[in-house]
Structure 1
Amino acid sequence: MRHLWKMRKLMVIVAALLLMLTACMGGSKNNVNEPENGTTPPVQENEAVKGSEIAQLAIEGEIIDKTDTSLIVTTYMEQGGEDYIDAYALTVDEETVISDASGATVDYTELTIGSRVEAWSVGPVAESYPMQAEAAKIVLLEEQSELPVSRADAVRAALKAQTELTGPWSVKEVSLSEEQDYWTVVLVHHMYIDEPVTVRVDAEDAEILPNIAAENEAFRIYSPKPDTVVDNTFVVEGEARVFEGAFRWMLEDGHRILQEGYADAEAGAPAWGRFQFEVSYDKASQPNLMLIVYVSSAKDGSMQDELIIPLKAQEEHIEYNSESIE
């Protein structure tokens, strides 16, 4: 009897263990991300859905080319000390979801060259350059701007100005000046990664502006650049932000003033006004020249806001004297 009672007790324990094991297996199954009641599993943050397919984030960058059915999106990448341009050619159709960052629907026409987007692809990716894929979702990441020329407008103008090289460009950097009067767009071509191109774009009318060679709070000089070898007649171009647009300039060689004069910008402060004037001199006493643009103080005539641009004289326009030799 005692033996029979022990057998029954053992069977009860085994049955209890089997019930516990079954319960654990059921709980484990419920933790698997499977459809319940025929519904689609939730989409993760790094996924999108197109039809019955789950898409993956392909690229975040700027649209550099666009047709009625496709976009080329590129982004500048810095990874492990090796820079490169990631590029995707994305096919867009009626099933492609297009929205802004808040999820509101965006029309395809609102995706312009220069726009910054987040692109999701679905299906196979062709390993070409640019890589080719089908777009499942495009998210417009355009920043809000009250300026007449937006970031996307500036990038588009900068890209349009690049006519010498074909093939994918990418945006390395975009910045707005402190006065918010121009954008600076730094572009990189995939064949010349180490040779970025800097483009200044007017924030009022998208005009391409000359790059600044030297500047301070009152002056921006476009040309000549510092240390340029100049002829005995050369042109100075730039912008000034001075009272009534009036200022003075001087060219000297360390021993004497070679030439000086007055100039006027197209506009006075607080606006920046464009200017251009010609400088001529006969002979310098040594190779090193200094062009100085400045404002003359109304109180005592002293120099204010002076900007110095070092230059070099051509050898045929140098007449050495005893002072310069010493």
Structure 2
Amino acid sequence: MFYFPTPQWDGSVAKDCNPLFGFGFGLLVLFCKGELQAGDAEREAGDRHRGEHWDRRADGVSPGADGSSRFDHSTDRGQTTESKWQAKRSHTHMGSSVHTNANLSPQVVERCRELGAASARYISGTMEDMAFADHVVKEAGTLLGGLDMLILNHVGASYFGYYNGDVEHVRKLLEINFLSYVAMTTTALPMLKESKGSIVVVSSMAGKVGFPFTVPYSATKFALDGFFSSLRQEFTMQNVNVSITLCILGFIDTERAVRDAAGVLLSPPAPRAECALEIVRAGALRLRELYYRYGSTRLPLLLRDCAADLLDYLVRSRYRL
């Protein structure tokens, strides 16, 4: 496991300011090498998608030298530990880059080992630096002997409020929330093509619908949707056997999200442990998109084309102002 505590622009640890969707993510990149047996993710996820078991051997994917798959995951602090605990159930070797608290890194690494991870490491850096984003993937590929899954789930700090006209902040956020995703994907693609692997992009409802108080953040999430949806089309046209899963998340109960949104949002948050498991499951099953939770994410989007004004009203009605 490679664990990367990443500092924020001002030298402090990175946190996502967007309480609406409860990401609380800093700059984490998780690389795992482990074995996802047929049905592991499915059984953990419950009754849905019964029978859609995923087995890399059955898909013709070459496992690692030890018979395991190599898994690269980038998540927030809230999802970070949760996702690692879930990945551990598949006997993974894990590596990650986390932000929120650099002192937490050794604790998370040790906890992963206690839960069964075959190995664990961490590296410090910042996703502001595209060279570091490139280095992280190359390091994982070298130490793990390849890569089977790349999960991208890190964001930079922003504000929750009316757009303040700070163009430089938008540029900075785009570098971390969007361009670093592109850089990591570009570096990982040769390994993922070889393994017929998967890319999992953790996004938000704010990347599908306009939400107030999150203008810079929403811009980066819309960019992710456009880039990876277009890339999926090209993969299909070129017969590239690499799946892309977009995870559209709603309000999740990460610590920062709950703290910042307590007096603003009317709806209750969804559990982060279940959310992390759904992310891992969606990648393992090579789903096109994951909506979590479905009722508060996918269903409202049905109104987007036929009743856009009504959807905008419903979005605004979720806020206590």
Would you call these one fold, judging by a TM-score over 0.5?
A: no
Q: Larger % of strand: which?
A: 1
Q: TM-score range by the shorter chain?
A: under 0.3
TM-score (norm 2): 0.23
Higher relative contact order (CA closer than 8 Å, sequence separation 6+) = 2
Q: Larger % of helix: which?
A: 2
TM-score (norm 1): 0.23
